[in-house]
Copies of this chain bind each other. A is one copy, B any other.
Amino acid sequence: MAGTKDKIVSMADRLVRTKGFNAFSYKDISAPLDIKNAAVHYHFPAKADLGIEVVAHEIALFTSNTGKWAHLPEDEQLSRLFDIFRRYNSEGNICLMGSLATDFETLAPDMQAKVQEMGSIILQWLTNCLEQGRKNKRLHFKGDADARALMIISNLQSSLLLSRVMGPSAFHRIADQLLEDICQK
């Protein structure tokens, strides 16, 4: 039996990705879970506490996933990352970074720090993956690996946003071209 606390975090995650952090309220969480507003405050006194938990959960998930892929060739690892975003897209979700970066200036300092931590972790992993992949001749790109990592993350993030406005095919067209650019050459 998944506890109330987990359900709240899961609900908040979904809401951040669909409506944005500033656009959802505790009522949006409490009503569907059939609990009271104050029950959410019991587990997460301030909204920032809930936001931090959502980000922490995402960091844990990312770390767990990339850990499982560690034995795979780099192009395959990259492909798994793309699959995650592909699923976000089909579910109408945007990525946490994309959503929270927009509202970044309005977030509490400790939540800002957590978002930055998430960014660093993702970028570090991707930079390493690209670097190793180029060494093993499985990936091909010009310039610094960390600049290229920034570009890829930026593209994945934003393609989900554009998909929402221009239709979901936008994501696939960007992702396919991106993979083609870097895997074959």
Interface residues of chain A, those whose CB is within 8 Å of chain B, are 18-20, 22-23, 94, 97-106, 115-116, 119-120, 123, 142-144, 146-148, 150-151, 153-155, 157-159, 161-162, 164-166, 170, 173-174, 176-178, 180-181
Contact = CB atoms under 8 A, between A and B. Distances in A.
Given A20-B20, A23-B106, A174 B150 contact: yes
A20 B103 contact: yes
SS class, residues of chain A in contact with chain B: helix
B19 A106 contact: yes
A170 B177 CA distance: 22
Nearest to A116: B165
Contacts of A100: 165
A108 to B, nearest CB: 13
A146 B174 CA distance: 10
Nearest to A157: B158
A23 B98 CA distance: 16
Contact of A116 (B94, B146, B166): B166
A142 to B, nearest CB: 7
Given A150-B170, A158-B157, A177-B143, A165 B103 contact: no
Contacts of A146: 173
A137 to B, nearest CB: 20
Task: State the 9 A-B residue pairs at the shortest beta-carbon distance, nearest first.
Answer: A158-B158, A101-B161, A154-B158, A102-B102, A22-B23, A147-B173, A157-B158, A147-B177, A23-B106
A162 B18 contact: no
Nearest to A166: B119
Contacts of A97: 161-162, 165
Contacts of A155: 151, 154-155, 158
B180 A142 contact: yes
A93 B94 CA distance: 21
